[in-house]
Amino acid sequence: MPRYRCYFLDRDGHIRERADVEAATLSIAIDRALGLLPKQRQCRSIELWQGDQRLYPEPYEKPGKPD
Digit-coded pLDDT (tens) for 57-66: 976 665 565 5
Tens of pLDDT along 19-37?
999 999 999 999 999 999 9
**Best CA proximity match to 21, nearest among 33, 10, 34:** 33
Residues 48, 9: contact at Cβ < 8 Å?
no
Domain ranges of the chain: 3-56
State residue 40's pLDDT score: 92
Average model confidence (pLDDT) across the chain = 90
DSSP-assigned letter for residue 37 = G
Beta bridge partners of 3: 22
